[in-house]
Each structure stands twice: as C-alpha cells, then as structure tokens.
Amino acid sequence: MNSLSFLLLPLVFLLLSCNVNTVGVDTIDVSPDWNLVWNDEFDQDGLPDSTKWSYNVGDGCDWPQGCGWGNHELQFYTNKIEKNARVENGKLIIELHKEKINNSDYSSARLVTKGKGDWKYGRVEVKAIIPDGLGVWSAIWMLSSEDKYNGWPNSGEIDIMENVGYDPDTIVGTAHTKAYHHLIGTHKNGKIYHPSAQDSMTVYALEWEVDEYRLYVNDQKYFTYKNENTDFKAWPFDQNFYLILNLAFGGDWGGSKGIDSNILPVQMVIDYVRVYQKNNG
C-alpha cells in the first residue's frame, strides 16, 4: 500500500461513519420515491402565510353538522387573530383561550389549506407538540376539497391524528365514509400509545395510495385503511383533500370526561407541514 492510500483511509472511514440522513428542524428525510410538492416551515413571524392557509371561522352553527362544529364543541374559531394562530420562532402556534367571544366562552383557531393545498394521494407530515388537559381536543385531519359525493360522511374524512386531553398518551387515527362512520358505530380506526406527545416534537404522517392509506407516529405504522374496491361508500378517497389543523375544547369526545377551564391557555405547536407525492405520479 502506498503512502497516498494511508492518507486517504481516515477520510474514507469518516465518510462511511457519517449519517447523511440525519433529520433536523430544517432537513427533509423520506424515501427517494417521494417528491416534496408543498410545505410550510413557518420561518416568518406573524400571522400564518395567507398563500397557504385560510381559516374556518365561528362557532360552527353554519356547519352542515350543526353548532359546535358537529361535535358540540365550545370554542369560537377566530379569523387572523395572532393570539389564536401565529408563527413565532420558527413554529406555528395554535392557542386556546378562555374568553367571551360572541356566544362562546373560548377562542381558538382552525387552519385549512383548502384551495391553497389540495391533493389526491401522497405523504402528509406534520411535526407537532400537542397539549393535554381536561376538555382539550387536538386534531390533524383532512376533508374533501370538492365534495364529490355530496357531504359528510359521503365524501370522506381522514383523521391523521386526534388526541383528547383526558387520555394524553393515546393517539387515534380514524377513517370516516358513508359505510364507516362514528354516528352509526361502524367507523374504523387505530390507536397507538405515545406518552411523549406533550413533551417532544412528534411526526404524524399519512401515506395515501390508490389501494390503501396508512398512518404513522414517528414512522411507526399504527393504522391501515384498505380500499375494498366496491364504491364510494367505502372508498371516497379518490379525490382531492385538504389539510386541517385545529385545537378544540369540550365536545362529544373532548368533553366527555368534563372540562377544566383553569388549564387555559394551552397550545398546539407545529414545527413544519410537508406534503410529498410519488415520482411516478
């Protein structure tokens, strides 16, 4: 072996030992089969980027499922109020407050990408810390953009992550369709024990393809929903969907063990949102 080989060996070992896929706040590490097509890294303080996010506003009384956003929730969702939704130090903060606003005693925010981020199939990632506390209800989910099959639940709902504050260690993901939804007791879901959801950033992900979709917590799969190849009643997931981030209070599930308004304000903190699609389309 010549002297040049001896000089090169340390460099070779160094390169082999490096982990080139290390994930940091600003790095992206997914399969090369996926292309990043939409993202928000929340790198500018102030209101959320209006080219990417809009708001559902009010107490839900104009929502098809009725007041309280269909679930008898107690909050009023505000529009462009930094107290409830703001970007700060590289994070999106959705904050729930106790305050009198219109006919509600609580304020929060519900951010949506409808018309600004709508996708059919792909991988959706949201990295977040969620709050606990009696009455709190955190959600990362998707609804139909075009309402192809006429209303909920016909056009489908994908719950990527839901958590209620009285059960902080349990992450739930659910499929809602005409054939399978909670109002008739046929909904299909998965659960995973995740005791650090309130303490450390967690990646909640959906991988959605023609034949099935899968849900993950930190790349650990916890639910798969299969396409039965029947009709839209079981698989309405052949159309564009948009993303929703919200923090609710009370309601049929979130408030089923009672509420404690003394815990407020609480925050959902989101590090990033990223959407990928396959190279082959």
Q: Which amino acids are annotated catalytic?
A: 157, 162
SS3 content of the chain, % helix, strand, coil (to 5): 10, 45, 45
As a whole number of Å, the end-to-end CA separation of the chain is: 50
Q: Report d(CA 110, CA 98) in Å as an integer.
A: 16
Q: And the tokens for 147?
A: 């309402």
Cβ pair 249, 10 in contact under 8 A:
no
Cβ pair 276, 123 in contact under 8 A:
yes
Cβ pair 58, 76 in contact under 8 A:
yes
Going by C-alpha positions, the residue among 268, 265, 255 that lies closest to residue 98 is: 265
Going by C-alpha positions, the residue among 114, 113, 128, 125 that lies closest to residue 206 is: 125
Beta strands in the chain (DSSP E): 34-40, 54-56, 75-77, 85-88, 91-101, 104-108, 110-112, 118-119, 122-129, 136-144, 157-164, 170-176, 188-193, 202-208, 212-217, 220-226, 241-249, 266-278
Q: How far is CA 223 from CA 86, 115, 188, 248, 264, in A?
A: 31, 28, 9, 23, 32
Q: Report d(CA 268, CA 262) in Å as an integer.
A: 17
